[in-house]
Amino acid sequence: MRTQAQDRLRRGHRCGALALTCAWFLIACSASAQPPDGDPFPLPAGVVSGEWALHGRGFAEQRYSPLEQIHTGNVAQLGLAWTFDDFVVRGRTHRGTQATPLMRDGVLYFTGPWSVVYAVDAESGAVRWTHDPQVDGAWARHACCDAVNRGVVLWKDMVYVATLDGWLVALDARTGEPRWRVDTLVDRSRSYTITGAPRLAGGNIVIGNGGAEMGVRGYVSAYDAASGRLAWRFYTVPGAGPDEHPEVGTARKSWSPRARWDLGGGGTVWDSMTYDPELDLLYVGVGNGGPWPVWVRNAGERPDNLFLSSILAIEARSGRLAWYYQTTPADSWDYTATQNMILADLRIGGRLRKVLMQAPKNGFFYVLDRASGELLAAEKYTQVTWAERIDRQTGRPVVSESALYAAAPRTVWPSTAGGHNWQPMAYSPQRGWVYIPTLEMPMTFSTQQGDVHYLPGANNVGASAAPPPERVQRSVLKAWDPVAGRIVWQSAPLPWWGGGVLTTAGGLVLQGSADGVLTAYDAASGRILKKIETGLAIMAPPMSYEIAGRQYIAVLAGLGGAMNGRFHAGFAALEYRNHERLFVFALGGRAVDLPPRLDKVPQRPLATGLPADADTVALGRQRYLQFCARCHAPRSVPNGYPDLWNLPPALYAAFDSIVLGGAMSYAGMAGFADVLTPQDTLAIRAFIVADQQEMRRNPSAKPPEQGTGH
């Protein structure tokens, strides 16, 4: 129990001008015992407990803050302390934020769109420095899910960021000046991108990449933190050439000898990695297969395809594999195991076990012994139909034949967005529960008919997936007991695509949502204690830190990523201008001023003089869906990119200089002259005009559905 005297003491930290008094309180407070941290590892040297120095705060990535000044009894007084909104924006398209800010020595370090790094004073918001790595804007074409970034590594006197176009950059933490920069991509002719945060492991900075939908072969690379020298590289799937290391040979046994190596294989490490400094093991979450159906990857066969959708335990210094666990053998549903992994020590069956926990896309919550890889538990945390259960003896799923869509379309739970995506879950050692931002939606899968040919810079999934018309589509925060394998409480349904989670010693769980609300829940009961309306979708996870005795909660806001392609019902971006912003909250803060409401765009005249014959329009439709629809939604569906159904006439006139010539590359609109001809772009315009006419004749007609993934 917290006493009123303690509350007064903690409120006393906010005295500001009375520096001496504050200093005394600070000493008094640090002498009073911190609540048990729960994290099995000590913080890195030089880091103090009020800081947030690593991606998930500590090495275990529990996303639990031991601070308790803000607690269940006073969170109602949480308000805005300050904001930062001076983000680099290219053109008119806002790409949103996904990063976890880090805080050390009174400075917050975070990233925004285009891999730009910001260092700001954590008390005032004053800018210390900004580093723009000048990402090649045309590289956005290679990204499945926008020019976003999930954060930096902060280690000794350096900050490390990985860029959308594949560079790992080391910066001086005091000045932002680059120290070194290495190209992490093995093949720049393929659509590799980086949106994930690097990790620190055994003196190395480790980074993977994305692109499994675009035809790449996955791998993870480790670089010496001081020099940038490549320490090791681990390929997650085999390729056409000789095996680069013994583990590739192990994996190859689980692929058809006639596998489609030209389509990449997938297995990208695009987000989660966690490091156990005691075992010196780096846990790596591996992504889905590319193309999606195992039968397309393997000439009609259905082998396991290691190390797709697996958790790998890699020796951080040597790069050798210690163990692996495959969550979805023969993945055919975009079921990445790249979701965040939390390390904790849990009492299971009377024994204290060192565990790793993950809720990957496939809908099962896994508890593994992180030393041996032994499966300790695997229960459904959401609706799952692709498998009945996980066999505890073999560790393998009992796959439902009804989920296999080689012969006919099949509707499967969860969707390609997963039961849980990159938005991190968090663990509270106070309760022993994990708080999972779940996504609930089914998806109907079909196999692509005919031969699958590799298309550069385009989707190469060999399948299509779309939500069924009567779909459920919602986000729900679930409190999960990992030992009992059951839901303890869950939130009311939230709009699709929620935010990441923070837990605190004040008994709180905090999560943002796409409707622009930051919600504080009672971690024990799920009761809502505070809602803060921001007018901006929150995808990123909140974090917390303390300076001069005052606890802050910081969260990045702004919609982008996979959701920039289509705004769903309830999104704040349907009502307000979607601009990136960092919010920092504290007790006694003020209300948030909402962003300006969207301007009404007048309906512009239709372009004239374009062909209208059925063949041209059909070609244009096909090309549009193949190359354009991944970002620009059809039929003025509201999204974050320019509305091609209502372009100013001058842009129609400049269509080829943009679409073929790349005139807007800097803003993220690459040229497509390698895959499109002037006849194609004429047909695309003809299709758009024909569809505009149809839309004006029949305004209630629905545009075709697009898939959702990552």
How far apart are CB 498 and Ca ion at their closest, in Å? 19
Closer residue to Ca ion (CB): 212 or 554:
212
Residue 136 falls in the annotated catalytic set: no
- Looking at the Cβ atoms of 101 and 218, the one nearer to Ca ion is 218
Q: What is the DSSP string of 3-55?
A: -HHHHHHHHHGGGTT-HHHHHHHHHHHHHSPPPP---SSPPPTT--TT-B-BT
Provide, rounded to whole angstroms, the least separation between the CB of residue 166 and Ca ion.
Answer: 18
478 contacts 307 by C-beta, under 8 angstroms: no
Query: Which residue number, 271 or 440, has a Cβ lying nearer to Ca ion?
Result: 271
Q: Find where tokens 């024990």 sit.
A: 524
Q: Among residues 117 and 461, whose Cβ is nearest to Ca ion?
A: 461
d(CA 632, CA 698): 21
Closest distance of CB 195 from Ca ion, Å: 12
- Tell me the CA distances in angstroms from 451 to 125, 261, 351, 585, 628, one per residue in order: 55, 15, 53, 54, 22
Beta strands in 419-485 (DSSP E): 426-428, 433-440, 443-447, 463-466, 474-481
248 contacts: CB under 8 Å, gap ≥ 6: 235, 238, 239
- d(C-alpha 536, C-alpha 582), whole Å: 10
Q: Which residues bind to Ca ion, rule: CB under 5 A?
A: 212, 288, 334
Smallest distance, Å, CB 696 to Ca ion? 36
Nearer to Ca ion, 173 or 212 (CB): 212
> What DSSP string runs through 94-160?
-----PPPEEETTEEEEE-GGG-EEEEETTT--EEEEE-----GGGGGG-SS-S-----EEETTEEE
Helix 678-697 × helix 614-623 angle, to 10°: 100
Name 531's bridge partners: 519
Closest CA to 330 of 271, 378, 400: 400
For residue 670, the minimal CB distance to Ca ion (Å) is: 21
Residues 266, 225 contacting (CB under 8 angstroms): no
Minimum separation from the CB atom of position 337 to Ca ion (A): 11
Assess contact for 561 and 119: CB atoms under 8 A: no
Total residues belonging to the chain: 710
68 vs 334, which CB is nearer to Ca ion?
334
| Residue nearer to Ca ion on the CB measure, 212 or 563 | 212
Please, which residue, 341 or 505, has the CB nearer to Ca ion?
Answer: 341
Rounded CA-CA distance 506/544 in Å is 11
CB neighbours (10 Å) of residue 88? 15
Q: Minimum distance from CB of 335 to Ca ion (Å)?
A: 9
Minimum Å distance from CB 23 to Ca ion? 51
Among residues 334, 515, 680, 691, the one annotated as catalytic is 334
User: What is the rounded distance in angstroms from the CA atom of residue 251 to the CA atom of residue 581?
Assistant: 43
Question: What is the smallest separation between the CB atom of 271 and Ca ion, expressed in angstroms?
Answer: 11
Closest to Ca ion by CB, 333 vs 489, is 333
Residue 45: C-alpha distances to residues 54, 59, 104, 172 (Å): 12, 12, 12, 18
Residue in 428, 411, 616, 617 with CA at minimum distance from that of residue 510: 428
Measured distance CA(538)–CA(514) in Å, rounded: 6
Q: Which residues are designated catalytic?
A: 334
